[in-house]
Amino acid sequence: MKLPSLIQQHGASAYGIVVWLTMSAQLLLFHGISRNSFSIYIGIYSLMEIFFLFFPYWWLKGRWRAMTLIFVWALSIYFFSNMIYFRFWGSMMPLDLFRQAGNANGVLAKSIIHTIQAVDWFYLLSALALTSVWLCPAARKAVCAEKFPLRLRVTLTALATITYLALIFLYNVRMSEVGNRTEKAKAILSGKTPIKLYNVFMAKNHRTYKHLGITLHLIYEFENLLLSCSTFSLPPEERKSLKDYLAALSDGNADHHAPTDRNLIFIIVESLDADMIGATVGGKEVTPVMNSLAASHGSVCALKMTSQIGAGSSCDGQLMYNLGVLPTLYGVGSVDFVPHLKNIPSLPHLLPKQYTSEAIFADGGSGWGKTEAYLVYGYAQQYSNHAFRHMADGTRSTDGLMLHFALQRAQQLPEPFYMQLLTIQMHYPSDTGALRTLTFETDSLPEERVRYLNCTADFDRNLGIFIDGLKKAGRWDNTTLVIASDHNYQKWKDHTQIAFIAANTDTTLCVADTVRQIDVFPTVLDIMGLQSKWRGTGHSMLGPRRGEWEERQIAVSDSILRSDFFR
């Protein structure tokens, strides 16, 4: 194939301009969708920022210019991944999750496939088009042949530098705003307890991107990537202040004494929105069993609970419920810190020694270090769906089969026992393929909403069968059942509150105030009558409610996770 003479003479320049404009278009599209707006300012900004990131190209010679493809594919994959992540979570994807890619499983893969939209393929297809130039001998020769004069290289480098300085100037006010928020948080902490903050606000990466732009955002991302697994030794004064804080926190909790020989079954329900409890569709209750539990005598319920998960999603919820600490805002706490978690007193370890602790997962148990984390939490016996999928006969859903197996285990275990069950079927996209029957079939609601309603109703129905089985086995009266959402259904940003129900306790309480997810751990300790110096970083729902800065709880939890406090 013969190229036009102008392209033959200036192949490298033409290719450089095409790459610059293509990558600017990628950034412009990303800006527009993630910020929900397009403007001339964003267009000019995109051109300027890519020009700065791309300037090393003009110093490359010959075949070394193929190194440009590293830049092209790195940014294209980053934008492609973030478009999917942003659409689901409403924030930027931490770079740390690329390091955690090996933890992906079939459930996550299905969620990603359902989240991808046609516009997302522009990133990969445009990168493929830029790559194809190097597969054409004539085009490759033209790109490699042109030589850039030194003066041109220096001029373009100077322009890139000026562009970068202009970006810093344009975002100086926004940088100050973010910095002021960080300083404010530090002042809040240092006024009472000088505990390390570890870039708490910088780690809220969508904020840094919106205020600082992609270049400076990536700098902060790389900095936080280095911090994500960092640990440290507490100096004496900081150790003392942390101990004083936790002691004061413990004093403010409930003085609650309940029997400590009751069985405990803790079900962590995937993506359970609080508004499902009590909801009706077409006059039919979505969750009649959980409605009854929440309203019954001896139940503690909170239907205004704020989710506090981070990048770890479900495993962050598991971390909070088992250890009583908030996840790190950067990194995936129960994955990054698995070797250190054994030092923090967990719920299984705080139960009396006669308790047998088991964990049962409705999925395969792989991904996000769950198996390793649960060993550290103190669950010596774990069962994934590999242990009971042979029992599938087409009459039970995914969660129904898990609850059926859990009932068998509950009938066999010596009392007292503790079981933690993890459901899965309500995870986006709420696959109804395994459901025996569909409770709701309506055209008046979006298909995705109907799938979620059916998966929720099916779990509730199987929960009722599970409870009936415990009653028939004579084990319900001596069992406390705790149900808590791992997080809300992330696709609906207007449904942010999650649910907590503890049934068959010696307390009847419906908490009307807003509580936090971190409050579940000390509440369960109180319900089970467990006396411990370690009660997590939250406040028991059975004790006096008092305000607490979330930033302060984050800093305390981060210090505990990263330090040798319990060693």
Provide, for the chain, the percentages of residues in helix, strand and coil under a 3-state DSSP scheme, each rounded to the nearest 5: 55, 10, 35
What's residue 173's pLDDT? Answer: 47
Contacts of 51 (CB under 8 A, 6+ apart): 20, 24, 159, 160, 163
User: CA 257, CA 260: separation in Å to the nearest integer?
Assistant: 9
pLDDT in tens, 519-559: 999 999 999 998 888 999 898 998 876 556 677 788 888 88
The sign of the dihedral angle between the CA atoms of 124, 125, 129, 132 is positive
pLDDT in tens, 321-356: 999 999 887 666 677 777 778 889 999 999 999 999
User: CA 508, CA 505: separation in Å to the nearest integer?
Assistant: 7
What's residue 22's pLDDT? Answer: 93
User: CA 294, CA 53: separation in Å to the nearest integer?
Assistant: 56
User: CA 542, CA 519: separation in Å to the nearest integer?
Assistant: 10
What's residue 180's pLDDT? Answer: 44
pLDDT in tens, 96-136: 777 666 566 666 667 777 778 888 999 999 999 999 988 88
Give the 3-state secondary structure of residue 511.
strand
Asked whether residue 562 carries a pLDDT value surpassing 50, the answer given is: yes
pLDDT in tens, 168-193: 666 554 444 444 444 443 443 443 43
pLDDT in tens, 464-504: 999 999 999 999 999 999 999 998 886 665 667 999 999 99
69-73, 370-374, 464-468: segment of lowest average pLDDT: 370-374
User: CA 28, CA 245: separation in Å to the nearest integer?
Assistant: 47
Between CA 176 and CA 183, with CA 180 as vertex, the angle to 5 degrees is: 135
What's residue 116's pLDDT? Answer: 84
Contacts of 283 (CB under 8 A, 6+ apart): none
Whether this prediction's pTM lies above 0.75 is answered by yes
H/E run at residue 453: helix 447-472
Tokens of 60: 């490359």
Burial grade of 102 (CB within 10 A; 0-12, 13-18, 19 or more):
exposed
Q: Which residue has the higher pLDDT, 290 or 87?
A: 290
Q: Which of 510, 439, 175 is nearest to 284 (CA)?
A: 439
Q: Which residue has the higher pLDDT, 436 or 266?
A: 266
Between CA 511 and CA 520, with CA 517 as vertex, the angle to 5 degrees is: 65
Tokens of 104: 């992906």
What's residue 185's pLDDT? Answer: 39
What's residue 381's pLDDT? Answer: 94
- The confidence band for 290, taking pLDDT boundaries of 50, 70 and 90, is very high
User: CA 139, CA 18: separation in Å to the nearest integer?
Assistant: 13
- The confidence band for 378, taking pLDDT boundaries of 50, 70 and 90, is very high
Q: From the DSSP assignment, how many helices (H) and strands (E) are in the chain?
A: 22, 11
Mean pLDDT calculated for residue range 373-402: 89
Give the 3-state secondary structure of residue 485.
strand
User: CA 320, CA 377: separation in Å to the nearest integer?
Assistant: 11
Q: How is residue 232 annotated by DSSP? A: B
CA neighbours closer than 13 Å in the CB half-sphere of residue 188:
17
Mean pLDDT calculated for residue range 61-85: 90
